[in-house]
């Protein structure tokens, strides 16, 4: 599920969009719906977006402060504009990736990926104590995975700084 969430969040999913247009077998659709009710991908998507926003904002604001300092400018002067920019960007992202818009695409992915029997087996697993344990621990796994991702992005600060320079140059025009 984490892989599917990450894939959905980071790619265009052109094939899933095509599959969303076709009707899913009623029994299979019911299994997909049951799996979604057990696994709560809507909550995981919301958590992913929140963690992404926090990580991005932290890196972007640090880079922004560094660039402004290099130009001997007070970064606090631009904080309101910076926060509006971040809010606009994440409002757009949240709208585009809302569960209402993503759910049919997830259903299409599950339909493409799993047979009816596999879905029945997956649903049965999630109803077991081990399945419930996995679901309960999933947020912790996602948080730890996000922390690993943030650590990996630490090396991207130079690239973020270049992007921030362009942003600052636009502010000065």
What confidence tens digit (pLDDT) does each residue in 100-137 have?
999 999 999 999 999 999 999 999 999 999 999 999 99
Give the C-alpha separation, 94 to 9, whole Å. Answer: 11
Give the C-alpha separation, 59 to 157, whole Å. Answer: 7
Give the C-alpha separation, 20 to 109, whole Å. Answer: 8
Give the C-alpha separation, 65 to 73, whole Å. Answer: 9
Find the distance separating the first CA and the last CA of the chain, reported in whole Å. 45
pLDDT over 50 (residue 17): no
- Tell me which of 5 and 163 has the higher pLDDT: 163
pLDDT over 60 (residue 97): yes
pLDDT confidence bin for 170, thresholds 50/70/90:
confident
* pLDDT given for residue 134 in this prediction: 94
């Amino acid at each position: 599920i984490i892989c599917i969430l990450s894939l959905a969040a980071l790619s265009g999913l052109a094939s899933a969009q095509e599959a969303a247009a076709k009707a899913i077998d009623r029994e299979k659709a019911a299994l997909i719906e049951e799996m979604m009710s057990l696994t709560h991908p809507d909550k995981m998507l919301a958590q992913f977006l929140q963690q992404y926003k926090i990580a991005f904002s932290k890196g972007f604001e640090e880079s922004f402060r560094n660039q402004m300092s290099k130009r001997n400018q007070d970064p606090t002067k631009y904080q309101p504009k910076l926060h509006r920019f971040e809010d606009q960007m994440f409002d757009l992202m949240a709208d585009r990736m809302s569960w209402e818009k993503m759910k049919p695409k997830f259903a299409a992915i599950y339909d493409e990926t799993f047979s009816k029997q596999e879905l029945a087996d997956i649903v049965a697993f999630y109803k077991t104590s081990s399945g419930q344990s996995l679901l309960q621990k999933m947020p912790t796994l996602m948080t730890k995975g996000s922390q690993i991702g943030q650590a990996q992005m630490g090396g991207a600060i130079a690239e973020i700084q270049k992007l921030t320079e362009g942003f600052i140059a636009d502010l000065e025009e």
